[in-house]
Structure 1
Amino acid sequence: MADIEKLKQYNLITYILYILGFFVGVTPIIAVIMNYWKRNEMQGTWLESHATWQIRTFWVSLIGYLIGGLLTAVLVGFAILFFVFVWNVYRLAKGLIALNNGQPVGPMV
């Protein structure tokens, strides 16, 4: 049980790093590396869903931000950037709430 508590704390730290990314920029890269690093340890537990959730959130957001950034020249990029930001905040909030409640997060989209 102590390992689960340590891994839960680890997940909380990675969620915080993702949130700090809105202000600092580089911390989500650290968080996604941490997620990949510990995901095997979480395998078979409800915490594995959080690592997978965070990894998918990182990659989809990164792609969305890149596409939105490229398309700002034709103005539609600003709408894409806003949508990706809102989606990113939603995913982080949903994950944190589930983590706090001791539940897996999903569905995995």
Structure 2
Amino acid sequence: MADQEFIPADSDPVARRADSARNLAVVVYILQGLSFFLGGITGLVGVIINYVKMDDVAGTWIEPHFRWQIRTFWIGLLWTVIGIVTTAIIIGWFILLGISIWLIYRIVKGALALNDGKAP
């Protein structure tokens, strides 16, 4: 990522909010947040949106957000599965707590950066 050229968001906040790719990233952050309450299905919908629209955002300031969201989903899924499998030996509950905190952090950090027109 360090060798990629930085593409800043439009400095006008009104224009930035009208960007359809930005709005799509907002929707995915919301879907990721809702996945805590709806069994993860909205997180799956969000990552599908990321993959389907990735070519449309390639080279824009939104692309790092899509990559952040995809990475958040897959790492979260992996550790959630590990946590569920290991709940019988108690450590799984700690893994689930840890991954929940980590997911909330990633969603909030990404959404705040998106709002500021920055990469996460």
What is the TM-score with the length of structure 1 in the denominator? 0.92
| Counterpart pick for 1:8 among 22, 25, 40 | 22
Give the match for residue 37 of structure 1. 52
What is the TM-score with the length of structure 2 in the denominator? 0.83
Letter in 1 for 2:45: I
Letter in 2 for 1:13: V
Q: How much is the aligned-residue C-alpha RMSD, in angstroms?
A: 1.6
Does residue 23 (structure 1) correspond to residue 37 (structure 2)? The answer is: yes
Letter in 2 for 1:59: W
Off by >2 Å, runs of 4+ in structure 1: 1-4
Comparing both structures, which one devotes a greater share of its residues to helix?
1
Letter in 1 for 2:20: K
Instruction: Give the aligned length.
Output: 105
Q: Percent identity?
A: 41
Q: Which runs of 5+ in 1 are unaligned?
A: none
Determine which structure has more spread, i.e. the larger CA radius of gyration: 2
1:28-75 deviation line (CA, Å, top 9, x unaligned): 010000000111111111100000000000000000000000000000
